[in-house]
Amino acid sequence: MRHDTIERSVNLMMVLIILAVSIGGLVELIPLMYSSEANEPAEGIEVYSPIRLAGRDVYVREGCYNCHSQMVRPFRSETERYGPYTTAGETVYDRPFQFGSKRTGPDLARVGGRYSDAWQRLHLQNPRALVPESTMPTYAWLEDRPVDPELLTAKLETLQFLGDPYTDEQIASAAAEVEGVSEMDALIAYLQGLGTNRRNRR
């Protein structure tokens, strides 16, 4: 059999395997990098304000994405509960994006404004104070951790370097903006902004 030829030549086999494995990715991924739908911000989407950016990083660090997705799929059962479905253009400033693939808790893509700041704070301090059957961990200690202004400034500079439209003034004033702001405050600011660009459905 001719497959013998391929199997006996490690180099040929390697080339063919690489070709077979990569072509799908090439065809699916590379064009997306040039798609305006995926690269340009959707209506109402702006870069994260410094406080919200700090909150986003708390969200990533604490692994909230292990239990919460941030992608409303285009099904009625989802849009009824969470709001309009997510589009690619809404996540252009998410590095990395927080789509997630597990929903132990609800999707958070449009949680902004659904609850009050006070609710979010109490809920993060002790979820069971508000939802007795909740399995979400407590994050009370975020209250005692201040946001690091230097780290935040460095992050903003990096994002600006990568092409996010932060202005120099925004970066210069970021450190002062987060003075006295705890990681809890920043996380709440982040949550309260999620998905607020598209609320209207009816």
Q: Do 47 and 93 meet the contact criterion of CB atoms below 8 Å apart?
A: yes
Does 202 bind other proteins (CB under 8 A)? Our answer is yes
Q: Which of residues 121 and 160 has its CB atom nearest to ligand HEC in the complex?
A: 121
Closest contact distance (angstroms) between CB of 80 and ligand HEC is 13
CA 72/CA 86 separation, integer angstroms: 5
Q: Which of residues 28 and 43 has its CB atom nearest to other proteins in the complex?
A: 28
Q: Which of residues 113 and 158 has its CB atom nearest to other proteins in the complex?
A: 113
Does 45 bind ligand HEC (CB under 6 A)? Our answer is no
Count other C-beta atoms under 10 Å from residue 165's C-beta: 11
Count other C-beta atoms under 10 Å from residue 83's C-beta: 21
106 cis-preceded (ω within 30 degrees of 0): no
Specify burial of residue 149 (Cβ count, 10 A radius: 0-12, 13-18, 19+).
middle
Q: Which of residues 77 and 169 has its CB atom nearest to other proteins in the complex?
A: 77
10 binding partner (options ligand HEC, other proteins, none; Cβ < 5 to 8 Å by kind): none
Tokens linked to 182? 């705890």
Does 2 bind other proteins (CB under 8 A)? Our answer is yes
Among 1, 10, 21, 176, binds other proteins (CB under 8 A): 1
- Site for ligand HEC, residues 53 to 92, rule: CB under 6 A: 59, 62-64, 66-68
Tokens linked to 3? 């497959």
Closest contact distance (angstroms) between CB of 159 and other proteins is 25
Cross-strand pairs, 29: none
Q: Do 36 and 164 meet the contact criterion of CB atoms below 8 Å apart?
A: no
Which of helix, strand or coil describes residue 190?
helix
Count other C-beta atoms under 10 Å from residue 42's C-beta: 15
Binding-site string for ligand HEC from residue 88 to residue 107, where x marks contact by CB under 6 A and - marks none: ----------------xxx-
Q: Which residue has the tokens 């709440």?
A: 188
Residues lying near other proteins in the complex (CB under 8 A) are found at: 1-6, 16, 20, 23, 26-28, 30-31, 34-37, 74-76, 79, 81, 83, 85, 113-119, 129-131, 199-202
Residues lying near ligand HEC in the complex (CB under 6 A) are found at: 59, 62-64, 66-68, 104-106, 108, 111, 114-116, 119, 127, 131, 134-137, 139, 187, 191
